[in-house]
């Protein structure tokens, strides 16, 4: 019963954040007239109306620890969701993972076309950086530069793109646990870590508190990725809104493939507990972040 209640709370809190961020994204990506309207519609299609908004939730909850105004946090959350959305659009392309389904609807290159999907992803990335640098995001330009730097590091060849490259280069090869951990730390971990850290950057927190949130984010990210792989191994397309069983079919390197389902689940739960322990310096305002750690390893979609 306790667990059920906590799950209900976190789901409600995430829904509330999702609504705030949806409205922010909508206003940051306005439709335009002219022949370029198509790429803007594709950007909106890829970004609006879907997803758990895990990264946005991390930003908003982290920012609340430092009493950052919600409008500022929502802009950073929207920026990271744009970056994440671009990465999914490019991931789904035929030359990449070749996925026709995303969040239960046709992926962007299916709803539009490949060229438009490539362009929409490109423009979403540019917009993500731009939003961080806009004066509305924070009065202090040093804070805005810090955000741009952290996103650049998380998104580029030393982060997400580097992780995707390892993932592709490793297909058909056998990676060990250390290599898979590094792959996933780069591919999904860095951006989740930045999401958890962004509130501390916005709040000009001490290096110690920023580091605590970064560590929380890194461990949460790994737990989240293993849970995602467990869903792929066990879930159905109806539950997850995307094709499942693809990792095994593609011979993809995952912790689930290396450890087996039950040990992987235990490992994810331990990581989630470790993430929660990182929050000991925060009071009850970190309740959302604590509950989230439980949520990511028990979610069914």
Q: How far is the CB of 97 from a copy of itself (least distance, A)?
A: 9
Q: How far is the CB of 84 from a copy of itself (least distance, A)?
A: 13
Indicate the burial class of 93 (C-beta count within 10 angstroms; 0-12, 13-18, 19 or more): middle
* Site membership for a copy of itself, residue 168 (CB under 8 A): yes
Residue the block writes with tokens 């990335």: 125
Residue 244: phi, psi to the nearest 5? Answer: -120, 170
Q: Could you tell me whether strands 105-106 and 101-102 are parallel, antiparallel, or unpaired per DSSP bridges? A: antiparallel
- The token pair at 61 is 């909850």
- What secondary structure letter does DSSP report for 32? -
Q: Which is nearer to a copy of itself, 79 or 215 (CB)?
A: 79
| Site residues (CB under 8 A) for a copy of itself, limited to 134-163 | 134-135, 140-142, 144-145, 148-149, 151-153, 155-158, 161-163
**Cα Rg for the chain, rounded, in angstroms?**
18
CB 201 within 8 A of CB 150: yes
Q: How far is the CB of 254 from a copy of itself (least distance, A)?
A: 16
Contact residue for a copy of itself among 24, 125, 188, 240 (CB under 8 A)? 125
Q: Which is nearer to a copy of itself, 23 or 169 (CB)?
A: 169
Query: How many Å apart are CA 217 and CA 146, to the nearest integer?
Result: 18
Query: How many Å apart are CA 203 and CA 205, to the nearest integer?
Result: 5
Q: Phi/psi class of residue 31: alpha, beta or left (left: φ > 0; alpha: ψ in -120 to 50)? A: beta
CB 82 within 8 A of CB 127: yes
Stretch that binds a copy of itself, among 182-190, 207-215, 258-266, 272-280 (CB under 8 A): 182-190
Contact residue for a copy of itself among 166, 202, 230, 292 (CB under 8 A)? 166
Stretch that binds a copy of itself, among 64-72, 178-186, 189-197, 224-232 (CB under 8 A): 178-186
* Site membership for a copy of itself, residue 257 (CB under 8 A): no
Q: Which helix (H) or strand (E) holds 222?
A: helix 207-234
State the binding string over 14-53 for a copy of itself (x if CB under 8 A, else -). Answer: ------------------x-xxx-xxx--x----------
* Site membership for a copy of itself, residue 111 (CB under 8 A): no
- The token pair at 256 is 């689930």
Q: Which residues bind a copy of itself (CB under 8 A)?
A: 32, 34-36, 38-40, 43, 86-87, 90, 93, 95-96, 113-116, 118-119, 121-123, 125-127, 129-130, 132-135, 140-142, 144-145, 148-149, 151-153, 155-158, 161-166, 168-170, 179, 182-183, 186
């Amino acid at each position: 019963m306790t667990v059920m209640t906590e799950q209900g709370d976190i789901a409600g809190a995430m829904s509330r954040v999702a609504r705030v961020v949806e409205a922010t994204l909508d206003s940051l990506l306005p439709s335009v007239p002219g022949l370029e309207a198509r790429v803007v519609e594709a950007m909106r299609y890829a970004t609006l109306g879907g997803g758990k908004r895990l990264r946005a939730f991390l930003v908003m909850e982290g920012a609340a620890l430092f009493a950052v105004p919600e409008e500022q946090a929502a802009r950073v959350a929207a920026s990271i969701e744009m970056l994440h959305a671009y990465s999914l659009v490019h991931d789904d392309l035929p030359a990449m993972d070749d996925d026709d389904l995303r969040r239960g609807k046709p992926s962007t290159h299916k709803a539009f076309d490949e060229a438009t999907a490539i362009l929409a992803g490109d423009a979403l990335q540019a917009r993500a950086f731009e939003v961080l640098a806009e004066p509305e995001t924070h009065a202090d330009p040093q804070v805005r530069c810090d955000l741009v730097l952290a996103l650049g590091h998380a998104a580029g060849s030393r982060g997400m793109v580097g992780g995707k490259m390892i993932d592709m280069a490793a297909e058909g090869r056998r990676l060990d646990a250390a290599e898979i951990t590094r792959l996933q730390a780069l591919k999904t971990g860095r951006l989740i870590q930045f999401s958890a850290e962004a509130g501390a950057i916005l709040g000009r927190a001490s290096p110690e508190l920023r580091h605590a949130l970064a560590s929380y984010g890194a461990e949460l990210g790994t737990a989240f990725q293993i849970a995602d792989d467990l869903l792929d191994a066990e879930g159905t397309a109806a539950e997850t809104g995307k094709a499942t069983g693809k990792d095994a079919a593609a011979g993809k390197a995952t912790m689930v493939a290396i450890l087996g389902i039950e040990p992987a689940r235990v490992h994810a739960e331990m990581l989630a507990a470790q993430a929660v322990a990182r929050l000991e310096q925060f009071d009850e305002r970190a309740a959302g972040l604590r509950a989230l750690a439980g949520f990511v390893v028990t979610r069914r979609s």
